[in-house]
Structure 1
Amino acid sequence: MQETGVKLSREIVTALVEDATAAPSMHNAQPWKFLFRPSDSVFQVYADLDRAMPHADPTTRALHLGCAAALFNLRVAAAHAGWEPVTRLLPDPADPRLLAEVALAGATAPENDLAPLYPAIHRRHTSRQPFTDEEIPRAVKDALSGAALIEGARLVFPDAWHVQTVLDLVGDAEGRDATEPAAAEELRNWTRVGAGAADAARDGVPDYAFGPRGRHGSAPVRDFAGQQSVPGRGTAVFEGTPQLAVLGTPGDRPKDWLRAGQAMERVLLQATLDGLATSLTSQALERPELRWTVRDPQSAMGFAQMVLRLGYGPSGPGTPRRPVDEVLDIE
């Protein structure tokens, strides 16, 4: 990339990466690393394969989605700070861990639509609480679908029949996971139960973010507690007809995953600004034999990449983040 002339202090670089790492990732594993080159004002985004999940994500598809969500936050933060982020995906075929480069190419273009999303970066939290039955207006749904299209993905709001199909697939995946010790062990490795563990956590899902155990309803909310006892955790009635959206791409290669992850985060940030609570559902997508049936056969979507649960209700709590100095290197 050509030299941009933009000079950033360490404090600004750190702040931009801190914004990037507010992104969601599977089990809050935060599987990313960043390298900043002051010589040409380029951020490099790497996959941290030490944080991969061999059972739930053997192809690292979900890992790519999480890293791409962080990439999108970096783009938004850069635009908010006044710079135009120029992005290249998979810039080095010899190093598949290098997922993207972002060059700060001078002042933000007037037509840049990223900066308005910035206030949602630190407001967006996964909510595992019940949502109300209030229907999301069609105009809001259309705007969210448009947000996905900007990033090269499709967001479809399935009809009632297809929603039930997705819920059945989630239930099937959860039933299979319950019989596989490896699945339970991997999930347990990324949960933080007990005041000491939860308060000291830098990653994973702390017990205060589990949400209540479902007493009734069909919302596809992963129960991170599993068989563990969580003192003080209550129960609640969840929505009987959850409002779901399926995010997908025409292809299913690493570059498609990176586009999907950016689209996912754009949709989540826009939904947050629109007053919606959000959560992600990937159980059925973690199994190839189930994943292909998640997509809507009547849509142009080739491959389902994520299922989003949207609605009106309480936002979830913030979850822990690794210190920036653990994920950022400056040349």
Structure 2
Amino acid sequence: MSIRSPKQVLDAVVEAGRWAPSVHNTQPWTFAVAGEEISLRADADRKLSVGDAAGRALLISCGADLFTMRTVMRCEGYEPVVRILPDPDRPGLLATVEPGEQVKADEPTWVLGGEIERRRTHRAGFADVPVPEQLIESLVKAAMSEGAKLTPVRSPDAVSVLAALTQVAQGVQVQDQRFNLEVIRWARPPGSTRTDGVPAEGYPREAALTEPHFPQRHYSWRHGWGRAGDQNETVTGVVAVLTTRGDNREEWIAAGQALQHALLYASAHGVSAAFHTQALEIDLLREFVRLELCAGEYPQMIMRLGVTFDAKDVPRRPVSDVLE
């Protein structure tokens, strides 16, 4: 395969960057190209002012985007040269990426690149299909290579605690009208042509209960949208927590890169993720999780991993919307 020009590479990187996962599918990023350098910027207009006041989820989302960009650049035959938070006077500039020396992508990189548009977030229980232990170990290594720690929760008691904390957080949040309005801002009605947010077919009206139960977001709050739940998908799956040693902006971006590395690897082996960040959006509950369940490390994501046969399309903004 011939090496493409730097411009063709940059076009491919921006095109693929749109497919990274993000909180509520807000896609809170923009790109700018100057010469052979791409700037990844946070889109403050897409930040969740109620549920993500500190911008942690926004930066995790953009970190996932950054890993996507790096992966595509390697697949295109160039080693990415990355600078993270390169300008303290421009906090919205999260990273710059430019093609470095020419390289030949290895097979694992090609596998990850092939999953960028296929990976899907799941929002219900999983099928009764076990996740191989060897795969979990590989996901742990993938996250570690990006500077974060992915820990599968082995203790049934600890899983029950996380489920209970998720239920508590959800119960608190549904009493907050501002929070609910912010969530349903990103819930799309049936037939919507919007290219962001969570489409009605992307979440169940009433998800089948798992044991223990990890509640889903109330995207259907007061309007009854959503698809019929699959009553055959009731398995909790493997519960895992993604943590970092610190809790600053650079650590949040690292967590996003680790998350996307693990998600793409999992997708290549038929495993999807369901995210549960409710407890991490309430400071007291997040601190409890940190001290009691994460050995003092900072929890950045709580997720369930499992197998689903529910394939669905997800909207993505066109390049013209994200390229400045």
Deviation at 1:92, TM superposition (A): 0.6
Query: Structure 1 residues 110, 19: closer, same or farther in 2, change over 3 A?
Result: closer
How far apart, in 1, do the equivalents of 2:293 and 2:29 lie?
Answer: 35
**Gap runs ≥5 in structure 2:** none
Deviation at 1:237, TM superposition (A): 5.6
More divergent stretch after superposition (312-321 vs 156-165): 312-321
Query: After superposition, where does 1:75-94 map in structure 2 within 5 Å?
Result: 75-94=70-89
2:195 aligns with 202
Question: Do structure 1's residue 55 and structure 2's residue 53 form an aligned pair?
Answer: no
Aligned to 2:299: 304
Q: In 2, distance between residues paired with 1:287 and 1:231?
A: 26
Q: Contact 2:243–2:294 (CA<8 Å) still a contact in 1?
A: no
Counterpart amino acid of residue 94 in structure 1: D
- 1:281, 1:308 within 8 Å by CA — same for their partners in 2? yes
- Alpha-carbon spacing, 1:185–1:138, altered in 2? closer, same or farther (3 Å): same
Partner Cα distance (1:77, 1:225) in 2: 35
The 3-state SS of whatever aligns with 1:99 is: strand
Q: CA deviation at 1:188?
A: 1.5
**1:48–1:97: 8 Å Cα contact kept in structure 2?**
yes
Structure 1 unmatched ranges of 5 or more = 1-5
Measure, in 1, the Cα distance between the counterparts of 2:9 and 2:321. Answer: 16
Deviations 1:211-233 (A, max 9, x none): 35124322443231122122763
**Match for residue 3 of structure 1?**
none
Instruction: Please give the secondary structure, in 2, of the residue aligned with 1:91.
Output: coil
What is the aligned counterpart of 2:209 among 211, 216, 222?
216
Whichever residue aligns with residue 320 of structure 1, its letter is: P
The Cα shift of 1:190 comes to 0.9
The answer (yes or no) to whether the contact 1:247–1:304 under 8 Å persists in 2 is yes
* 2:221 alignment partner in structure 1: 226
1:209 partner letter: G
> Which residue of 1 is the match for residue 130 of structure 2?
135
C-alpha distance in structure 2 between counterparts of 1:133 and 1:215, whole Å:
13
Shift of 1:82: 0.7
**2:26 is matched with which residue?**
29
Distance 1:191-1:110 versus aligned 2 partners, 3 A rule:
closer
- The alignment partner of 1:44 has SS state of strand
Residues 87 and 112 of structure 1, relative CA distance in 2, 3 Å threshold: farther
In structure 1, the partner of 2:95 is 100
2 CA distance for matches of 1:272 and 1:231?
24
Whichever residue aligns with residue 6 of structure 2, its letter is L
Aligned counterpart, 1:13:
10
SS of corresponding position for 1:143: helix
Question: 1:319 corresponds to which residue?
Answer: 314
CA RMSD of superposed structures (Å): 2.1
TM-score (norm 2): 0.91
Instruction: Identify the residue that residue 116 of structure 1 maps to in structure 2.
Output: 111
1:272 correspondence with 2:272: no
Structure 2 partner of 1:190: 186
**Residue 160 (structure 2) aligns with:** 164
CA distance in 2, matches of 1:180, 1:156: 31
Question: What is the rounded CA distance, in whole Å, between the counterparts of 2:88 and 2:115 in structure 1?
Answer: 33
Deviation at 1:238, TM superposition (A): 4.5
Q: Alpha-carbon deviation of 1:157?
A: 0.6
Q: SS of 2:73's equivalent?
A: helix
Q: CA deviation at 1:235?
A: 6.0
Distance 1:301 1:83 in 2: 38
CA 313–101 in structure 1, closer or farther in 2 if over 3 Å, else same:
same
Distance 1:238 1:201, change over 3 A: same
* Distance (whole Å) between structure 2 residues aligned to residue 207 and residue 298 of structure 1: 34
Shift of the alpha carbon at 1:42?
1.4
Alignment equivalent of 1:262, drawn from 257, 264, 267: 257
How far apart in 1 are the matches of 2:156 and 2:129? 15
Of the structure 1 ranges 46-55 and 293-302, higher mean CA displacement relative to structure 2 is found in: 293-302
In structure 2, C-alpha distance between the alignment counterparts of 1:95 and 1:52, rounded to whole Å: 17
Specify whether residues 116 and 107 from structure 1 end up closer, same or farther in structure 2 by C-alpha distance, changes over 3 A only. Answer: farther
Q: How far apart are residue 128 of structure 1 and its match? A: 2.1
Equivalent pairs, count: 318
In the alignment, the residues of structure 1 paired with residue 282 and residue 109 of structure 2 have an alpha-carbon distance, to the nearest angstrom, of 34
